Amino acid sequence: MTEATILPPAADLPLATELSVVFARMQGLLLTEETVQTALAMVTALAHDTMGPSTVGAGVSLLDTHGLRSSSGASNEVVQRADALQYELDEGPCLAAWAGRAVVRIDDVGSDQRWPRWAAAAAGLGIRSALSAPLVAGDVALGAVKVYADEPGAYGQHAERRLLMFAGQAAVLLANVRTLQDARRVSDNLRQTMRSRDVVSMAKGALMAAEQVGEDAAFGLLASLAQREHRSVHDAAVTVLAKAGRGPSVVRSRTAERRG
């Protein structure tokens, strides 16, 4: 029996219980090789489920220090367009929630005057009310999570508290996943750098033996080969190693080819 068959819908439970169910669904993500984009998709889906039947779409945006999106997730095309409009117009509830680190609620986009250009465009998408909460982990504002409804007054104070509590846990999750992904990227780059250094070192050794020269001179030969063939030193080193032990030095053979 799956989790979905034994757990009641989150919106039907008291606030503390419903959120504990949602947070339980987040657990275990850090134990897998997940990416930030995967985590964003999961948080977006959970936000949509958590905020009740009036919600027609949800989204999560991670922002840099200038308020530009580094990555985002959206439950449908309406959310994608509504979010894109905020960044195109440089105004809207999501950006305001991130900048002010506070929940922002729009009861009716038709009468709200805080972001008139965005509100007019959002109304054209069928959006009537919205709720956004900041994603804050420690002292860092990562972005915001937002939900949209197609009727006015869809969200009240209870919804504000629910989304704010949800955003707090989601921020911790996303911060940790991003940290792990960055660490894996650094680790992969470091391993690649070390492998490249090993290849260059072995190629220098092969040239030192073949040409009867010192380490500096061997590296000079390798660098010259790379320059002549418009390749990286690493690629030139791979060629040297591939031809090592198969006749004359690759440096000497290239020289002979040019003289011929």
Q: Are both 48 and 141 inside the same structural domain?
A: yes
Q: What is the DSSP pairing of strand 140-149 with strand 55-63? A: antiparallel
**Domain termination residue (choose one: 184, 215, 235):** 184
Q: Is 45 in contact with 191 (CB distance < 8 Å)? A: no
Domain final position from 157, 184, 211:
184
Q: Do the beta carbons of residue 234 and residue 241 sit within 8 Å?
A: no
- In a 3-state reduction of DSSP, which class is residue 11? helix
If asked whether residues 226 and 98 sit together in one domain, one would say: no
Residues 163 and 138 in one domain: yes
Question: Which has the closest alpha carbon to 71: 31, 40, 45?
Answer: 40
CB count in 10 Å sphere of residue 10: 21
C-beta separation of 163 from 80 below 8 A: no
Provide the CB-side half-sphere exposure for 111 (13 A, CA): 6
In a domain, 236, yes or no: yes
In a domain, 145, yes or no: yes
196 and 177 assigned to the same domain: no
87, part of any domain:
yes
Would residue 232 count as lying in a domain? yes
Nearest to 57 by CA among 128, 149, 122, 123: 149
The predicted model scores a pTM of 0.61
Does residue 140 sit in the same domain as residue 173?
yes
Where a domain ends, among 168, 184, 200?
A: 184
**How many Å apart are CA 15 and CA 156, to the nearest integer?**
13
Tens-place pLDDT, residues 88-126: 999 999 999 999 999 999 999 999 999 999 999 999 999
What is the percentage of the chain residues whose pLDDT exceeds 70?
73
Tell me the pLDDT tens digit for each residue of 124-167.
Answer: 999 999 999 999 988 889 999 999 999 999 999 999 999 998 89
- CATH for 216: 1.10.10.10
167: number of Cβ within 10 Å: 26
User: Mean pLDDT, the chain, as a whole number?
Assistant: 78
pLDDT in tens, 21-64: 555 555 554 444 457 788 888 889 889 988 888 899 999 998 88
Closest CA relative to residue 165, chosen from 8, 3, 21, 66:
21
- Give the residue ranges of DSSP H helices in the chain: 3-6, 15-26, 36-50, 77-89, 93-100, 116-124, 157-211, 215-228, 233-243, 250-259
Please give the Cα distance from 179 to 103 (Å, whole number): 25
Q: Which two tokens stand for residue 123?
A: 């109304």
Based on the fold, state whether residues 172 and 226 are members of the same structural domain.
no
Looking at the fold, whether 193 and 178 belong to one and the same domain comes out as: no
Domain ranges, residue 197: 188-252
pLDDT (tens digit per residue) in 192-236: 656 677 777 888 788 888 888 888 888 888 888 888 888 888 888
216 and 134 co-located in one domain: no
Total residues found in the chain within this entry: 260
Both 12 and 110 in one domain: the answer is yes
Residue-level pLDDT at 33: 45
User: Per the structure, how many domains does the chain have?
Assistant: 2
Confidence of residue 256 (pLDDT cuts 50, 70, 90): very low
Torsion region of 176: left, alpha or beta (phi above 0 gives left; psi -120 to 50 gives alpha) = alpha
Please tell me the predicted confidence (pLDDT) of residue 25.
55
3 state SS of 143? strand
Angle, helices 215-228/233-243, rounded to nearest 10 degrees: 110
